[in-house]
Amino acid sequence: MIKLSRIYFRTPWKFENAAGRRRLSVLNKARWMPFTKGPDDIMTETFNQMGYSVDILDPYTAYFLHKMRKPTQPVADLGCGFGIVTKHLLNAGATVIANDISRAHLAEVEDSVPREQRSRLTIVHGDASQLDFPANSLSGIMAGRWVHFLTSPEAYFDFFHRALRWLEPGGSLCVTVHTMKAWSPPEVCAAYEIKRASGMAWPGWVSREMKWEGLRDRLPDRGYAFRLEELKGLVEEIGFHVEKCGLYGLRIPAHPPERQVELAPNNTIGIVASKSISLT
Ligand SMILES: C[S@@+](CC[C@H](N)C(=O)[O-])C[C@H]1O[C@@H](n2cnc3c(N)ncnc32)[C@H](O)[C@@H]1O
């Protein structure tokens, strides 16, 4: 099982056959991936204190890549970090727009892409939430673990509205974000549950002092920790059709070492949502 998941996460697009699809369905049920490697082997710290870039694929990103096997338009990897998704997309034959707010990350991506693939790669530097692609011009948008750094409800609405506009009808968006459990100790999570139960709107804002000490200098000071139903509800309200969503786990190197395994399950949300073919 462990061996299969390692193979699957590295080569999702190869599963065109029945056996592959069966494996896909088994693995999609996993809520926490039993990584055979330690967190330091799969997570690379970003250069700009924006968390870690991950070099394995979670089930939602893998499903998104599976859908992006024959895109008719470019696919954007927004907040691409060190480009794991960009490279999978390029290997699968897609034309890719790799974006990040860090020029240093983009330089790493560009340098590590084989020369023969570079004609299909466009590098776009800047804040992804402020980009302006033409309407209906993208087959897919990947937003891997940075959307939670947006700092106001308006910024979330604005970004998801833009994403819907940029996608061609039938195109797909994949979003991954961390939950409160990834960022904050249990007592902060418990206080959050009380706020949430009281019916407070947008209860998930997380400030610097609410985070695990080891994460404080590795993340922006403010972020928003969604619950699965909350993020799903938001993208549906914008007009997406949610195809697949759920929780999965990542071991986070900045968590106290003795608690990393306990804190890993269900600390990250994945959503794959599509734009209706009747929308333009
Ligand atoms: C936690 S890393 C995730 C990298 C990669 N997507 C992954 O899932 O492994 C967050 C990345 O998003 C980038 N980022 C954060 N906010 C951004 C924004 N508003 N626009 C573009 N990139 C952003 C950071 O520079 C960093 O590379």
**Residue 10: per-residue pLDDT:** 34
- For the Cβ of 52 lying below 6 angstroms from any atom of ligand 1, the answer is yes
| Identity of the amino acid at 277 | I
- For the Cβ of 108 lying below 6 angstroms from any atom of ligand 1, the answer is no
- For the Cβ of 48 lying below 6 angstroms from any atom of ligand 1, the answer is yes
Residue 248: strand pairing partners: 268
User: For residue 127, which atom of ligand 1 is closest to its CA?
Assistant: 20
Domain limits, the chain: 2-274
**Residue 236: per-residue pLDDT:** 98
- For the Cβ of 267 lying below 6 angstroms from any atom of ligand 1, the answer is no
Identify the CA nearest to 271 among candidates 191, 179, 136: 179
- For the Cβ of 64 lying below 6 angstroms from any atom of ligand 1, the answer is no
Contact by Cβ (8 Å): 247, 228: yes
CATH fold of 2-274 reads: Rossmann fold (3.40.50)
- Residue segments in the chain with a per-residue pLDDT below the cut of 50: 1-37
- For the Cβ of 81 lying below 6 angstroms from any atom of ligand 1, the answer is yes
Give the DSSP per-residue string, 118-154: GGGEEEEES-GGG--PPTT-EEEEEEES-GGG--SHH
Give the pLDDT confidence of 5-39 residue by residue, as tens digits: 333 333 333 333 333 333 333 333 333 443 444 55
**Residue 35: per-residue pLDDT:** 41
Instruction: Kindly report whether the global pTM for this prediction surpasses the value 0.85.
Output: yes
**What's the CA-to-centroid distance between 150 and ligand 1, angstroms?**
11
For residues 96 and 240, what is the distance between their CA atoms, to the nearest angstrom? 22
**Residue 245: per-residue pLDDT:** 98
Minimal-distance CA residue to ligand 1 atom 16: 146
- For the Cβ of 46 lying below 6 angstroms from any atom of ligand 1, the answer is yes
**Residue 277: per-residue pLDDT:** 85
- For the Cβ of 83 lying below 6 angstroms from any atom of ligand 1, the answer is no
- Residue 124 CA to its chain's centroid (Å): 18
User: For residue 77, which atom of ligand 1 is closest to its CA?
Assistant: 6
**Residue 18: per-residue pLDDT:** 36
Helix, strand and coil percent figures for the chain, each rounded to 5: 45, 20, 35
User: For residue 81, which atom of ligand 1 is closest to its CA?
Assistant: 27
Give the pLDDT confidence of 130-161 residue by residue, as tens digits: 999 999 999 999 999 999 999 999 999 999 99
**What's the CA-to-centroid distance between 205 and ligand 1, angstroms?**
18
